[in-house]
Structure 1
Amino acid sequence: MKRQKRDRLERAQAKGYQAGLNGRSSETCPYQTMDARSCWLGGWRDGRDNKATMMK
């Protein structure tokens, strides 16, 4: 059975989440298209929120 690759927008969100957890700036978003950029930034916000929650 072949394994399917994740959707590119899901991948952008996951990369953004990791960037947020690692404390990277939102300015480091590597995506130019609006769809992927908004997914990346959404993941980045989630990652930042979770990082702040873990620090408490």
Structure 2
Amino acid sequence: MRRQKRDMSSRAYDRGYQAGVSGRSQDFCPHANEQQRYNWISGWREGRSDQWDGLTGVSGVHKLRAL
């Protein structure tokens, strides 16, 4: 659990992916740090792509990692 909390880059990517899949705007990125913002937006882009491809709900469960 502690390792996951310390890896902020991975958490930023995961949170961005979740925001993208849920349809939130890229403007809601909460990070000011350049590296974390980059990871969040990368996750957001992949999440949006998966949403457009129809990988939401049960069909997209395999893409999510346990948080």
Partner of 2:48: 48
Which of 1 and 2 has higher RCO (CA within 8 Å, sep 6+)?
Answer: 1
The aligned runs of 1:11-26 (5 Å cut-off) are 11-26=11-26
Report runs of 4+ in structure 1 exceeding 6 Å deviation. Answer: none
Unaligned segments of structure 1, at least 5 residues: none
Q: Which digits, 9 at most, give the CA deviation of each residue in 1:4-40, with x for residues without a partner?
A: 4221100000000000000000000000010000000
Query: Identity of counterpart residues, as a percentage?
Result: 38
Unaligned segments of structure 2, at least 5 residues: 56-67
Q: Point out the structure with max Rg over C-alpha.
A: 1
Partner of 1:33: 33
Query: TM-score by structure 1 length?
Result: 0.88
Number of residues paired by the alignment? Answer: 53
Partner of 1:5: 3
